[in-house]
Amino acid sequence: MSQTVTKKMGFTGVLTGQDVRVRRDLRDLSFLYFSVLSAFVLVCVALVFLWSRMTVVNTGYEISKANTARAALIDRNKRLRLEFMKLKSPERVEKIASKELGLVHPTGEQIVNIR
């Protein structure tokens, strides 16, 4: 590279062994555009990462709430089944029929056999 610089600028012998850097043209904004684009891409990647983490955390909370609600519903279902079994027991039905409704077992004369 040093030979091309010396030939273009007209220096002979003085800069032959040195690596000379040419100054960047300040009107060339490609470096600025590249920097802004790179920063924008990095910010977008960071935002997508944060969004995905927030989604995972919120989904975890929703799963926890659903599991709590499920456990409560299972417990309520067990209590309702127990209450149902108590309410339909034959002893309870017979007790209500005899005391509250005044029903009695039929005598032999009240039973009619139909063929």
Residues 5 and 15 sit within 8 Å (Cβ to Cβ): yes
What single-letter amino acid sits at 41? Answer: V
Could you read off the pLDDT of 92-110 as tens digits, one per residue? 999 999 999 999 888 888 8
Residues 60 and 42 sit within 8 Å (Cβ to Cβ): no
| pLDDT of amino acid 22 | 72
* pLDDT above 50 (res 2): no
Could you read off the pLDDT of 85-94 as tens digits, one per residue? 999 999 999 9
| pLDDT of amino acid 16 | 65
Query: In 3-state terms, what secondary structure has residue 75?
Result: helix
Q: Is the pTM of this model over 0.85?
A: no
